[in-house]
Structure 1
Amino acid sequence: MYTTQMDAAKRGIVTREMEIVAQKENMDIKELQQLMAQGKVIIPANKKHTALDPEGIGRGMRTKINVNIGISKDCCNFDIELEKAKKAIELKADAIMDLSSYGKTGEFRRKLISISTAMVGTVPIYDAVGFYDKEISDITAEEFLDVIERHAADGVDFMTIHAGINRETVRRFKKNGRLTNIVSRGGSLMFAWMELTGNENPFYEYYDRILEIFAEYDVTMSLGDALRPGSINDSTDAAQIEELIVLGELTKRAWERNVQVMVEGPGHMAINEIAANMVLEKRLCHEAPFYVLGPIVTDVAPGYDHITSAIGGAIAAASGADFLCYVTPAEHLRLPDIDDMKEGIIASRIAAHAADIAKGIKGARDWDYKMSEARKNLDWDKMFELAVDGEKAKRYRESSKPENEDTCTMCGNMCAVRNTNKILKGERIKIL
């Protein structure tokens, strides 16, 4: 009997989840097992998440995307968040994180896990304040650990644990200073707790206890980047790199307990720094899968950060990142609505697919070949079927009808594709 997917891989046991992922990724099962045993590929799959359609994250895998949902004190309608989750699954998101930060979230979390075929992630520190109805400084280390265990028992597949921000990394952050300080919500809460209590980060101090919980339920450790840069001015600074070094050490400790790991990364970052940061993470964190927010490549586009993020995400994934956290047009402005969520998902899926082409992922270019073939044949229905967002493509087409069905209103009778096809067939064309 095995304890976790990583334990099974080390023992040479083929799990149901491995079989599904190997088939999806067109990968030999032995190769998959070897990569999992080395920590280079993970399959987040809590033993209690029975609705899960498992996915692999890491080397040789298709780049996956995550969608964030969840209530806040100002927007606390769980029904709307559940609709978002259903829409995210429909739009082929690979993972959904419940980032609820207000009230009693357990019932919603369990409902989400019961219906979600996508991986489900959480950030337990967000839930602690609402669960105990206490100020952050009044929560004890033991209470933080209890919340983690509750999430694991509910069936959460991966959890963001901000264990890399400890007394030493805080000292480095304070010594060097930053323009935008700490922008990670979980990181800022843990920083506040440490400063207000004078204690060490309990996620760092009691990391082995957390690993015991994760191993029992087979929860994947998502090592949170509490000190990720919140502006391009702060990227690749001393605090970010020192935390990354700590995350690499924590990665090895998790692997010793057969706990699967992915490492979270920046944040805001200029384009010319992205590739180097991906190499640095893989080096310092021993090729554990890398999960990035964006990166957002410029700070001046509120309302369009799904675009700034997609630019950075495509470069990051092409350079080695394995998992993209979507960003919506509402980033930095408000809680996203369902339309914002859709735009964020589509932008992230485009970025992920563009990166998969660059990485040479098996079958990635086939999709584009089929679309190009449909365009050459002026097969509009096939184009809509293949499109990332076929609904939008069809709506645009129908909103502006051409004189001839084999053209569009951009070029009309000057359509290059139609006219070239006709000439190659020996047919005459009429432009006027």
Structure 2
Amino acid sequence: MSQSYTTQMDAARKGILTPQMEQVLANESISKEELMDGLAQGRIAIPANKHHLNLKAAGVGKGLKTKINVNLGVSKDVCCFDSEIRKAQLAIEYQADAVMDLSVSGDTETFRKRLVEQIPVMIGTVPIYDTLTRTGKPTEEITLEEWFETVEIHAANGIDFITIHAGLNQKCARSIKTNPRLCGIVSRGGSILFEWMEKTGNENPFYEHFDRLLDICQAHDVCISLGDGLRPGAIKDSTDAPQIEELITLGELTKQAWKKNVQVMIEGPGHVPLHEIEMNMQLQKKLCHNAPFYVLGPLVTDIAPGYDHITSAIGGALAAMHGADFLCYVTPAEHLRLPTADDVKEGIMASRIAAHAGDLAKGLKGAEIIDHKMSKARGELDWEGQFDCALDPEKARSFRKSSQPEEQEVCTMCGDFCAVKRTANLLKH
């Protein structure tokens, strides 16, 4: 008779190797014992809702490859769910590890069900947004039951992880008022809850009734991604009192969740200058007890609209090097408009480069193998071998095809001056 368990954390604590754990082990260099210990201690999470039947599980956390997430979803101004499905398919094609639906308009539940049915990577949502969309009410008229009804619906739909800004409580709200910022609150979920608390005078419902949230997540094995409602949206606001105040609260909630075997990830900044990224990673790991850390970027400058996939990749690589486990992609359209399919691809590739660079820097076992294989192919002027190793073989092939050399062995950058060609025979002797 098979052993029973409620969540992946519960299974690990009972010594049960789940099918999802086996899937993770097949794609990582970590041992079974290391994986199960990490899950049991909360250092690793495997977001895997019991209702997401076609899921190919992935792990997030210590000792695992840095994962990347793709945000998508419709708005009132651009509301085409078929386009968002195409973006989700692109995420699979370009090897993203997760998809988050941030839709704020239309028939969101039908769209979520389509995602769960068609997309085999872990899927996340933000029920706080959807409560406003689903009810059509002004923020201050949302009831406690309606907040939690939305969470129940998302869990039943098969969503693997949900972002909940439970740490932005009344104490943190006071901090944002007494510590003025250039950009205030830039988190959509954080701003909605801040408005609800300000207009009703009530405590954050997800903070006050956190155990109720845990019961829902435990029943469906939903991982809670504890949102950073007070993440900095400007370099000047980075690592300020409100951000740290909320982070301390998230650490307290993390321990509460683990007591009920609910998996947790912690969301992080935001806009952070290069010299503060390492400190931010260390603070999170310390204050949140080494729970997996999920960062948006971070963006290392505020002045690059149209190129924020690059500012994000710079910060993401450094963040991964210093302990971030999960990078949320940023597209060139960040701060400007809803991203197109082309923007999605650019964002994915930038984040994949950052994630791999971080894995190399922190010495993840086996991360360097593909780089060495690429270098060998370059040293041998083996173009097909180089394409096979490339993160985007299609783009690499198209660049070479667009500018053909006289001698096919080299490229049009150097031609007969190719250093590799000139020294190859000499070094053989």
Q: TM-score, normalised by structure 2?
A: 0.98
Q: Is the contact between residue 169 and residue 207 of structure 2 (CA under 8 Å) also seen in structure 1?
A: yes
1:423 Cα deviation after fit: 2.5
Choose the corresponding residue for 1:378, options 365, 381, 398: 381
1:360 positional shift: 1.1
Q: Distance in 2 between matches of 1:96 and 1:159?
A: 11
Partner residue of 1:403? 406
Q: In the TM superposition, what whole-angstrom CA distance separates every residue of 1:324-377 from its partner, at most 9, and x where no partner exists?
A: 000000000000000000000000000000000011112100010000011011
Match of 2:94 in 1: 91
Q: 2:323 aligns to what?
A: 320
1:6 equivalent in alignment to 2:5: no
Give how far 1:425 is off: 4.3
Cα distance between partner residues in 1 of 2:286 and 2:185? 24
- Residues 126-137 of structure 1: pairs in structure 2 closer than 5 A: 126-137=129-140
- 1:172 is matched with 175
Q: Equivalents in 1 of 2:382, 2:331: separation in Å? A: 32
Structure 1 CA distance, aligned partners of 2:132 and 2:106? 8
Tell me the equivalent position of 1:364.
367
SS at match of 2:331: coil
Aligned length: 426
Q: Match for residue 429 of structure 1?
A: none
1: CA distance, partners of 2:98 / 2:51: 16
Decide whether the 8 Å contact of 2:29 with 2:64 is kept in 1: no
Further displaced range: 24-33 or 348-357: 24-33
The letter for the 1-side match of 2:346 is E
Matched residue type, 1:156: I
Moved more, 413-422 or 146-155: 413-422
Cα distance between partner residues in 1 of 2:97 and 2:260: 26
Q: Partner of 2:156 in structure 1?
A: 153
Paired AA for residue 413 in structure 1 = D
Please give the alpha-carbon distance, in whole angstroms, between the structure 2 residues aligned to 1:9 and 1:143. Answer: 33
Residue of structure 2 equivalent to 1:204: 207
Question: Matches of 1:296 and 1:170 in 2, distance apart?
Answer: 24
| 1:146-194 deviation line (CA, Å, top 9, x unaligned) | 0000000000000000001010000011011111100001100111111
Residue 347 of structure 2 corresponds to which residue in structure 1? 344
TM-fit CA distance, 1:24: 1.2
CA RMSD of aligned residues (A): 0.8
Q: Give the stretch that moved more between structures: 417-426 or 132-141.
A: 417-426
Cα deviation, residue 277, structure 1:
0.6
Q: Identity of paired residues, percent?
A: 61
Superposed, 1:14-29 pairs within 5 Å as: 14-29=17-32
Matches within 5 A, 1:129-278: 129-278=132-281
Which amino acid letter does the alignment assign opposite residue 132 of structure 2? V
Q: Provide the C-alpha distance between the structure 2 equivalents of 1:376 and 1:328, rounded to a whole number of angstroms.
A: 33
Q: Which runs of 5+ in 1 are unaligned?
A: 427-432
Partner residue, 1:390: 393
Q: Which SS does the other structure have where 2:368 is aligned? A: helix
Residue 28 of structure 1 deviates from its aligned partner by: 1.4
| Partner-residue secondary structure (3-state), 2:63 | coil
Alignment map for 1:50-65 (pairs within 5 Å): 50-65=53-68
